[in-house]
Chains A and B, each alone.
Chain A
Amino acid sequence: MVLKQLGLALKYLFRRPYTRMFPIKEEEYVTGRTRARHILYMDRCTGCTACQMACPADAIKMYYIEGDYPKNRRKIFPGIDYSRCTYCGLCVEACPVSALVMTSYTMQHLITDDKKTTLYTPEMLAKPPRGKHLVTLEKKTWTPPPAPLPKKR
């Protein structure tokens, strides 16, 4: 018999739809940990290229920027190509001086019809996003306790 199934159908008939009306009525769902667009603190960056070496998607390249940066003698800073970035956060983990952080400013805002605009130069990364955002991933978020001595196999 299908009476149970009919009862269920009636129950769901009078329920509100689950669909979220994004972006017309609601904003995107973000949490305090959503990893999205980076911010680069150029005054902290030493140009060590650790973020470039840690990037599994080869999205980070170093750019020469003119200016007065006493900590960065070579004056090279990371620029991120967001068409390649997977938002894994390994660059933030690799940065020894906490110059790169990730915010919750999601990819919805990075949607574009021009592929050239996905490349964010260091100056563009240095400006915080215009919209509402939280800093979700920085050095202190992940710093684990000291490593134990590995057991011998």
Chain B
Amino acid sequence: MNKTVTVFLGPQHPGAPGNVSFKVVLDGEQVIDIDLIPGFLHRGFEKMMEYRRWDMDLVMSARICVEDPDHVELTYTHAVEQIFGIEPPEKAKYIRVIVAEFSRIASHLLWLMHFAGPIAARYAVGWAIAAREEVLKWFDYITGHRIYHHYIFPGGVRWNIPSDFKEKTLKVLKTIEPLVKDIEVGFFKHPVFQKRAMGLGRLKPTEAIRLGATGPTLRGSGICHDLRKTLGYDAYTELEFKIPRGEYGDAYDRAMIRINEIYESMNIIRQALEKMPMDGPYRWRLPMVMPEGEGIGRVESARGEFVAHIINYRGNQIGRRSLAPYRIKFRGPTMPLLTTILKYIVKNEDITIADLPVLIGSFDPCPPDIDR
């Protein structure tokens, strides 16, 4: 008689990381195999973008990753600017850095909610959401919306910053910093969490590279790779910051990297506020018709490397498609995390069903960027 049981985890399960499902093969409480079942959130954005103008596509692109929309806007913007052959104004570069780093902070705080909730650390969820609320209010103040901002735009940023921008931004940082410190002490340094996460889901550096990990998962394995340093896009070359990295490559290291990245993001924002020119243009007005060409945008998002590849070839396209790009392709960081890497860890380590929320949560998966 076969002893194994197949269980479906998600997409309605509260412990599932969003709109994805997992097919888990169990022997008792031991997880033997795990398979990702994507497709619950497929909206066909890449195809829809082929029928819309480049400025309308930006509004679509933000919806590819709900938690961290500004980095998707940024990667799309870089690709479009490459096709137009322009550089954004100096002031816009700094504003982009500040908005992108706030987006990273908001994303990491939302991850904390998804991560601490299934481990039953409800207090950390409340503190994280309170801190995130301050960031969302800041987004409303600067961009006009809380979740999808549509603020980073090809040619710069969409609107100028308000006159009290510096004071307001510093005030938000001052409000969230003690909350993040409390989360670090109350949750990450808590012995119960340490016992659950330390030594779980170890990923060697060589395997992390081979299996396609990017972002905090790759850095958690000890590899110091960050596109903000490597490519130095926008104003990141002018700013000094450290790249947090782990030692053991386990779930605890991956989690600690995110909390350290929040501190680094705050440091980057403070530096950018000091160095940002307050005068000068914030946006170039671009023509409605995009020239023919090819552009690739690569940014370091909260989860890893986000890539947008746009080919604009008008050829004999007619009607609405004549103003739209020929093809757009996005690469999200989540797919390898939940397929190859998760399977590798489950196959090579003793994982129980109770470990799964900690293990999956430590990757910070974003199901919308799998399905697009």
Q: Which residues of A contact B (CB under 8 A)?
A: 1-2, 4-5, 8-9, 11-12, 18, 29-35, 53-57, 86-90, 136-137, 141-142, 144-148, 150-153
**Residues of chain B with a CB closer than 8 A to A142's CB:** 158-159
Q: Which residues of B contact A (CB under 8 A)?
A: 52-53, 55-57, 59-60, 82, 84-87, 123, 126-127, 129-130, 133, 137, 140-145, 148, 150, 155-156, 158-159, 162, 182, 185-186, 189-191, 281-287, 293
A9 CB, nearest partner CB in chain B, Å: 7
CB-based contact B133/A144 at 8 Å: no
CB-based contact A34/B140 at 8 Å: yes
CB-based contact B286/A147 at 8 Å: yes
Known: A33-B144, A144-B282. A5 touches B59 (CB 8 A): no
CB-based contact B285/A153 at 8 Å: no
Known: A33-B140, A89-B150. A147 touches B284 (CB 8 A): yes
CB-nearest residue of chain B to A87: B145
CB-nearest residue of chain A to B134: A18
CB-based contact B144/A144 at 8 Å: no
A141 to B157, CA, bound (A): 12
Known: A136-B144, A152-B85, A153-B293. A18 touches B126 (CB 8 A): yes
**Residues of chain A with a CB closer than 8 A to B293's CB:** 153
A134 CB, nearest partner CB in chain B, Å: 11
**Residues of chain B with a CB closer than 8 A to A153's CB:** 82, 85, 293
Known: A5-B190, A18-B126, A147-B287. A31 touches B159 (CB 8 A): no
User: Looking at chain A's contact residues, is the secondary structure mostly helix, strand, loop, or mixed?
Assistant: loop
A33 to B146, CA, bound (A): 11
CB-based contact B186/A5 at 8 Å: yes
A32 to B162, CA, bound (A): 10
CB-nearest residue of chain A to B48: A56
CB-based contact A89/B144 at 8 Å: yes
CB-based contact B55/A54 at 8 Å: yes
Known: A87-B145, A136-B144. A144 touches B52 (CB 8 A): no
A142 CB, nearest partner CB in chain B, Å: 6
CB-nearest residue of chain B to A54: B56
A146 to B55, CA, bound (A): 18
CB-based contact A150/B84 at 8 Å: yes
**Residues of chain B with a CB closer than 8 A to A35's CB:** 144-145
**Residues of chain A with a CB closer than 8 A to B53's CB:** 53-54
CB-based contact A4/B189 at 8 Å: yes
A8 to B150, CA, bound (A): 38
Tell which of B127, B141, B185, B283 touches A33, judged by Cβ atoms closer than 8 Å: B141
A2 to B85, CA, bound (A): 57
Tell which of B59, B133, B156 touches A90, judged by Cβ atoms closer than 8 Å: B59
Tell which of B57, B123, B133, B159 touches A9, judged by Cβ atoms closer than 8 Å: B123
A54 to B182, CA, bound (A): 46
CB-based contact A144/B283 at 8 Å: yes
Tell which of B55, B86, B126, B145 touches A148, judged by Cβ atoms closer than 8 Å: B86
Known contacts A33-B141, A141-B159; 5 further A-B pairs (Cβ under 8 A): A2-B191, A31-B137, A33-B159, A144-B281, A150-B84
Q: Would you mind naming 14 contact pairs between A and B with Cβ atoms under 8 Å apart?
A: A8-B185, A8-B186, A9-B123, A11-B182, A31-B137, A33-B159, A56-B56, A56-B57, A56-B59, A90-B56, A144-B283, A145-B284, A151-B87, A152-B85
B176 CB, nearest partner CB in chain A, Å: 12
A135 to B254, CA, bound (A): 45
B85 CB, nearest partner CB in chain A, Å: 4
